[in-house]
Amino acid sequence: MNLEYLDTDILIFGAGGAGLLAAVHAHERSPRLRIVVVVKGLMGQSGCTRMVQGGYNAVLNSADSLENHFYDTVKGGAYLNDQELAWTLVEDAPKRILELENRLGCIFDRNDDGTIHQKAFAGQSFDRTIHKGDLTGIEIMSNLRDYILEQEEIFVLEDARGLDLLLSESRIIGALVLNMRTGGFLVVRSKATLVATGAAATMYKISSPSLEKSGDGMAMAWRAGAAFADMEMVQFHPTGLLVGNSIATGGLLEEGLRGAGARLFNGRNERYMSLYDPARMERATRDVISRSSYLEIAAGRGTEHGGVLIDASHLDEEFLLRNFPGMVERCRTYGFDLLHHPVEVSPSAHYQMGGICIDVNCHTNLEALFAAGEDAGGVHGANRLGGNGVADSIVYGARAGDSMVEYVAASRLYEVSPTQIRKLAEEWSQSLVRSEGENPFGLRREFESLMWEKVGIVRSEQGLHEALAGLAELRERTRRVKAVGEPVFNSEWGEAINLANLAIVAEMVAHSALCRRESRGAHYRSDFPQSSPQWLKRIHLRPGGNGAMKLSVLPIEWTRLTPPELSTSQAREGGYA
């Protein structure tokens, strides 16, 4: 067994916006701290922040306000948001934009007067989405990458992935890491650990996240004993490209396109959003449009390839080339002409609003463990507004970095258990030594189809029970997966690990969806199609014994806004509590 050891002050899993901003802030506040960033691929090329097309929501215009952004966020989240987390997001977002530009070198699009340009995004009452054309994520990530590479005290471990967090009682003292380049294990001791790997929307047949995302951070935190909330809330983006069996299927045409006036049609050339949200039409929130498209397809009114059509051909060609060059080129790459013809799209699993429970400083219920970005839950409630995702990663990544610096100042390294390390390494290596077993890639396809059909955009009690039974069977089969060959860059071994982690997250989603007997935000139950004030509560999960999941339904603190559903007077909708 190939084991190496490494000590560090701060250990960060994930090199998207949250992980890298955490490293930046920690280094800026305490330059002598040793920081290790574990990246599943290549730094600057992995994760979903670099894939962000649309932009970053922040209040910069005097005609806008923090209160308006907060109201839009909580209303969009169907009032399930942790309101202090949501307020912190909108309050810190403008500060982080100034930092990205003035400290880290990002340059966003400008108005003629030199101010930052902000565009329309669905679900928002003001045009507040900051962007760099439709390649905003690349602008942010390239500058973060350059900063990180210049710092000697920040060590980046590429082509590596976390396997399990290491515990001493209820304290996280480090992690076991797989170095895919050597096929060996690395034991990292740390004073503070951050999980910022992104979530697991790749558990669905059609999805948009980067291919390496598989809920690793969530699964590691769950196995260590972390508490979770809102796991039933999975967002499906309305417009993922349909490119046959290609891995490009699910890649997004971003929200700003609909904000600019693109229209949706079914296979009969009917502009169907007039049936579902006649007031907002294509500028309705993502959950409404995704569900509307899904219902059109399910009713037999979809396109030849099981999708719907997005049409921007009536918009000015020069405008599209100037504002959406990335999408025009993406469509052209796959043989579609966004400038002149409708393009086939489908709802695509995109983002998890649920995740690890945190406070405003990214502390979890486990000592020395922090979470930020999509690994953490509570900011977005039942539905995330487009443009709030990258803002979340940047805001809470920065906060995590600041918090960890304060934490490690009064902490120390702890001894790891050789027995624990040996047991974990042997467990994760089992698929390498089997002479017979399941094919992980075939199993993955079965898993994705089950989630799409039973725990997808439209859910029911019967379907969810069937999903849980199917997931239990698939979990057992996952334990019998065989990985052929040497451990170095072994794709079958990697997929076996992915499946183990995805299975945990999928079960959390299915159990929570079964528990919530109403429809709200991204969660739609065909057997309970209406929202109910009785369900203005958050569903929490904690690990039980022998792999069990313990669910509890807990009240929400209305610290800033009272849901209109609960109002007993004729007070103005959304009045401040």
| Region of 490 on the Ramachandran plot (φ > 0 left; ψ -120 to 50 alpha; else beta) | beta
Q: Is 352 helix (H, G, I), strand (E, B) or coil?
A: strand
Contact 459, 451 (CB under 8 A): no
Give the Cα separation of 570 and 577 in Å (integer). Answer: 14
How many Cα atoms occupy the beta-carbon half-sphere of 309 within 13 Å? 21
Please give the structure tokens belonging to residue 43. 């730094």
| Amino acid at position 436, single letter | E
| Amino acid at position 180, single letter | M
Between the alpha carbon of residue 263 and those of residues 260, 290, 308, 318, 384, the distances in Å are 10, 14, 11, 18, 21
Q: Is 286 helix (H, G, I), strand (E, B) or coil?
A: helix
Give the Cα separation of 83 and 87 in Å (integer). Answer: 6
Label the pairing between strands 56-57 and 129-130: antiparallel
> Which candidate in 161, 223, 258, 350 is catalytic?
258
Instruction: Give the residues across from 178 on adjacent strands.
Output: 161, 185
Comparing CA positions, the residue from 394, 404, 405 lying closest to residue 144 is 394
User: Is 560 among the catalytic positions?
Assistant: no
The 3-class secondary structure across 391-442, one letter per residue, is HHHHHHHHHHHHHHHHHHCCCCCCCCCHHHHHHHHHHHCHHHHCCCCECHHH
Instruction: Give the residues across from 348 on adjacent strands.
Output: 237
Task: Compute the C-alpha angle 407/410/412, nearest 5°.
Answer: 95
User: Is 268 among the catalytic positions?
Assistant: no
Give the Cα separation of 549 and 378 in Å (integer). Answer: 19
Element containing residue 57 per DSSP (H, E) = strand 56-57
Comparing CA positions, the residue from 373, 355, 356 lying closest to residue 364 is 356
Contact 217, 13 (CB under 8 A): yes
> Which candidate in 96, 189, 237, 380 is catalytic?
237
- The residues annotated as belonging to the active site are 237, 258
